[in-house]
Structure 1
Amino acid sequence: MEFALGHHGDLASERGNWTCEAPPGLAFACLRPMAMSEMFPFSVVFVAAVLIVFALLKQFVLENYMMHKDSLHGRAYARLKPRDQRTLVNHHLSLVMKVCLFIIGIYPFCALVSGHNFNTRFVARLTIGDVLFLCSHTYTAIYLFELCYRQGISYITWVHHSCTILIAQLALAFTATHRAQDTTIEMVLCLVWGVFDILSEAITHLTMVLYRLYPTRHAFLYRALRTAFVVSVLSTTIETAVVGWFYGALFRRWSTLNKALTPMLFVAFVAAQIWSAICLWRIGSAKGVLMRGGGGELEVGSGEAAGEEGKEGSK
């Protein structure tokens, strides 16, 4: 199947006459390489602004209001160790931000995948590239904030977050140069990873918040943890199928570096997700024992002993 390289929408008159072949369903593979957004010179300013917003939300909304001792969150919060208090705050912040990113970015993402280029108009003067650019920077800022804020962060978490930040920023930088043939499809691959990560992590963040707020509701937490486990497994399975099809169908389009680097990175991410699912299963099994009366009450704040820290480390 042949597609004219270029874009759709308001700027369709600029479409070139260059054509290429793309497998069915992968129309974005024939988009003209171009800068993702004209806001690239302000990347550092935007990331700094997002981190400032996160710090404000953390201190004045979460710690000073939601975690107040008289609130439901506050009663659970007061029983936790300082390290676990930071983890709970981070779960709240990450959950809200990832849900917002999904809502804001899903339409531009679908438009890009369906064959619209970065400069397709979205709202007013904003293009879908602008929106995806802002979402990508916000996404990396979430992990930057977590690396700096959480205490006792595991090695798996550190490696995963660091690699995610570097890969996302490199993909954004490569689209700014828009010289290489595979810059657009590389960016789409990163966005696919991000979408699946948000879907699986949102349910995990929510489950961990519930785990802290209702530590004695074993039957409820057992069902919630099992649900999170199923979502994690399904997300990993679907993601593997999509990325495998994507990578294989466009194999000739990848540069030599990406042909080798992409599978290595994907295996690392899948391994982290599998470990996350295993730890969710372990925490759920511990709650199942308590639900059936097979053991005493777990200490609030001892989730790491049951595998929670390992699970959180694989995000």
Structure 2
Amino acid sequence: MPLLFPHVAHAHRDSASLASRESESHAKIALMQPSQIARDGTDLALILTCALILYSLFAGVLQRGLLRKLYGGAYDGLEDTASSKGNERQRISFTYHHVASISFGIILLIGAYPAISFTCGSGTLPTPLNGTSGITIGDILSILVQVYCGYYLFEVTFRSRYISFVALAHHIGLLIIAQTAAVLGSRASKSAEATKEFYLCVVWGAFDIVTEFPLHIVLIIWRIKRRNSRLCYKIACGCTAWVLAMAFTETIITAWLLAQSWAGWQLQWQIITPTIFTLWICTQLYGAAIFLRMARQQRTLQ
């Protein structure tokens, strides 16, 4: 049947096409709408508590015999604190590298799909996961945020004597950002800033885990092969390049996301968010400087 007003139909198609192109030209964060992230903040507090307990129990199992069975004399040398004052620091770091690598590996395995779907795909926080009606993308991400925060709470308390002030500032800032986003989301704020802040937390957390996961693994190798100066030098150089590359990539992506969504942020968030990210990147650069210093030390030992 011929159309009576073909120009009207063309106009509708053109407007729909224009709207589609406009939505595609903006980052997803710019189109975020207010949405409840977690359905019950009490559940999240329980998850955080359970995660912290499990990290502590796992570290206890590692220290009370499992690491010695796995590595034998390599771990005994770290545990012999009478021979060297620095061995206790190395033993503690050896333990938490194992806890971090396993926990980050689990978070990556479980959270890769919902994180990619939420940040880059068509998924939203209320979207059911794999078509199920009971569990949503927001539920999984909220749980993983608490597990992620639980690890850093564990590390702050576990390394209380040996953690640097810069690392401490990094961990505290991370915990405050993530928990603030979770609290705002659990209250179903009418402002889209809560959802946008959670979006940035997912992006930053993903970069942090992808950056830190291989570092913890290679630092385990470092402790085992600590007498091989040539290998340790290569490891330190590789870690320096990796951290710098990831920090540069994260800065570019974050700057683009903020530029795309800048008009939608209130003034206080326009100040707080870039400031927090700047401090975050400074800690990453400080970590790269530490690896570079380690490389120089190993080079002198060759």
Shorter-chain TM band: 0.7 to 0.9
2:243 paired residue number: 232
1:66 correspondence with 2:67: yes
Query: Bigger CA drift: 153-162 or 257-266?
Result: 153-162
Offset of 1:88 from its aligned partner? 1.6
Letter in structure 2 aligned against 1:168: A
What is the aligned length? 272
1:90 paired residue number: 96
Greater Cα radius of gyration, structure 1 or 2: 2
Unaligned runs of 5+ in 1: 1-18, 292-315
2:190 paired residue number: 179
Contact 1:171 1:186 in 2 (8 A): yes
2:168 paired residue number: 158
Letter in structure 1 aligned against 2:194: T
RMSD of Structure 2 on Structure 1 (CA) = 2.1
Letter in structure 2 aligned against 1:30: L
Q: 1:115 to 1:257 in 2, by over 3 A?
A: farther
Provide the C-alpha distance between the structure 1 equivalents of 2:228 and 2:53, rounded to a whole number of angstroms: 36
Question: What are the superposed Cα offsets for residues 204-239 of structure 1, whole Å, 9 maximum, x if unpaired?
Answer: 222322221111111222222111111101100100
1:167 correspondence with 2:167: no
Question: What are the superposed Cα offsets for residues 225-264 of structure 1, whole Å, 9 maximum, x if unpaired?
Answer: 1111111011001000000000011100111111001111
2:15 paired residue number: none
Provide the C-alpha distance between the structure 1 equivalents of 2:71 and 2:167, rounded to a whole number of angstroms: 32
Provide the C-alpha distance between the structure 2 equivalents of 1:223 and 1:60, rounded to a whole number of angstroms: 31
Q: 1:134 to 1:69 in 2, by over 3 A?
A: closer
Q: TM-score, normalised to structure 2's length? A: 0.84
Q: 1:243 aligns with which of 232, 251, 254?
A: 254
* Structure with bigger RCO (C-alpha 8 Å, 6+ apart): 2
1:141 paired residue number: 150
Provide the C-alpha distance between the structure 1 equivalents of 2:35 and 2:185, rounded to a whole number of angstroms: 6
Letter in structure 1 aligned against 2:178: A
Q: 1:129 aligns with which of 133, 138, 141?
A: 138
Query: Bigger CA drift: 207-216 or 142-151?
Result: 207-216
Question: What are the superposed Cα offsets for residues 63-92 of structure 1, whole Å, 9 maximum, x if unpaired?
Answer: 421235972552343245333322221111
Q: 1:241 to 1:72 in 2, by over 3 A?
A: farther
Query: Bigger CA drift: 198-207 or 222-231?
Result: 198-207
Unaligned runs of 5+ in 2: 1-19, 82-86
1:8 paired residue number: none
Query: Bigger CA drift: 119-128 or 279-288?
Result: 119-128
Query: Bigger CA drift: 237-246 or 95-104?
Result: 95-104
Q: 1:22 to 1:258 in 2, by over 3 A?
A: farther
Provide the C-alpha distance between the structure 2 equivalents of 1:118 and 1:254, rounded to a whole number of angstroms: 19
2:113 paired residue number: 107
1:204 correspondence with 2:215: yes
Secondary structure of the structure 2 residue equivalent to 1:67: helix
Secondary structure of the structure 1 residue equivalent to 2:129: strand
Question: What are the superposed Cα offsets for residues 170-201 of structure 1, whole Å, 9 maximum, x if unpaired?
Answer: 01111122311222111111111111111221
Provide the C-alpha distance between the structure 2 equivalents of 1:241 and 1:24, rounded to a whole number of angstroms: 17
Tell me which protein shows more helix as a share of its residues.
2
Offset of 1:22 from its aligned partner? 4.9
Provide the C-alpha distance between the structure 1 equivalents of 2:255 and 2:68, rounded to a whole number of angstroms: 43
Offset of 1:278 from its aligned partner? 1.2
Provide the C-alpha distance between the structure 2 equivalents of 1:184 and 1:29, rounded to a whole number of angstroms: 11
Offset of 1:59 from its aligned partner? 0.9
Question: What are the superposed Cα offsets for residues 138-162 of structure 1, whole Å, 9 maximum, x if unpaired?
Answer: 1111110011111232211221111
- Give the fraction of aligned pairs with identical amino acids, expressed as a percent: 21
Question: What are the superposed Cα offsets for residues 115-160 of structure 1, whole Å, 9 maximum, x if unpaired?
Answer: 3211212254321111101110011111100111112322112211
Letter in structure 2 aligned against 1:289: T
Provide the C-alpha distance between the structure 1 equivalents of 2:71 and 2:215, rounded to a whole number of angstroms: 26
Contact 1:72 1:213 in 2 (8 A): no
Q: 1:129 to 1:120 in 2, by over 3 A?
A: same
Q: TM-score, normalised to structure 1's length? A: 0.80
Q: Which runs of 4+ in 1 moved over 4 A?
A: none
Map 1:236-315 → 2, pairs under 5 A: 236-291=247-302
Letter in structure 1 aligned against 2:102: V
Contact 1:182 1:254 in 2 (8 A): yes
1:6 paired residue number: none
